[in-house]
Amino acid sequence: MPVDNVSAVFISQTGNLWFSPSNQGLIKKNGDDWVLFNTENSDIPGNFVLCMTESADAVLWVAFSNGSIATTTDGSSWDIIKHEEAKDFPNSNASSMLLDAQGKIWISFENGGIAGFNGTDWVFHTALTTPLPSDYITNMVLDSNGDIWISSFQDGLSIFDPDFGAGIDDDIWTENTRTYPNPVQNYLTVESKTLSSNAYVIVYNVMGQILMQEALVDLKQNIDCQGLSNGFYTYQIIQEKMITSGVFIKK
| CATH number, domain containing residue 87 | 2.130.10.10
Task: Mark which of 111, 138, 164 sits at the end of a domain.
Answer: 164
Instruction: Please tell me the predicted confidence (pLDDT) of residue 2.
Output: 53
pLDDT at 168 (0 to 100): 39
Do 74 and 195 lie in a common domain? no
HSE-up (13 A, CA, CB side) for residue 243: 5
51 near 61, Cβ under 8 Å? no
In sequence order, the β-bridge partners of residue 147 are none
pTM above threshold 0.75 = no
* Domain interval for residue 206: 172-250
Q: Is residue 1 part of a domain?
A: no
What pLDDT sits at residue 84?
Answer: 63
Q: Is residue 78 part of a domain?
A: yes
Instruction: Kindly state whether residues 44 and 153 are assigned to the same domain.
Output: yes
201 and 98 in one domain?
no
- pLDDT at residue 171 in the model: 43
User: Can you give 114-125 as a three-state secondary structure string?
Assistant: EEEECCCCEEEE
- CA gap 48, 63 in Å, rounded: 9
Domain termination site, one of 121, 146, 164 = 164
**Is residue 92 domain-resident?**
yes
146 and 60 in one domain?
yes
Q: How many domains does the chain contain in total?
A: 2
Render each residue's pLDDT in the chain as its tens digit; 251 residues.
Answer: 556 789 999 999 989 999 999 889 999 999 889 999 999 999 999 999 999 999 999 999 999 999 999 999 999 899 999 876 666 788 899 999 999 988 999 999 999 999 999 888 888 888 776 667 788 999 999 888 788 888 888 777 777 777 654 443 444 444 567 888 888 999 999 988 888 888 999 999 877 889 999 999 999 999 999 999 988 888 888 887 677 777 888 88
pLDDT at 130: 66
Q: Same domain, yes or no, for 189 and 85?
A: no
What single-letter DSSP state applies at residue 162? G
Are residues 96 and 182 both part of a single domain? Answer: no
Do 232 and 159 share a structural domain? Answer: no
Residue 245: give its domain's CATH number. Answer: 2.60.40.3080
Instruction: Residue 232: name the closest of 163, 161, 164, 140 by CA.
Output: 161
Same domain for 29 and 112? yes
**Single residue among 111, 146, 164 that ends a domain in this structure:** 164
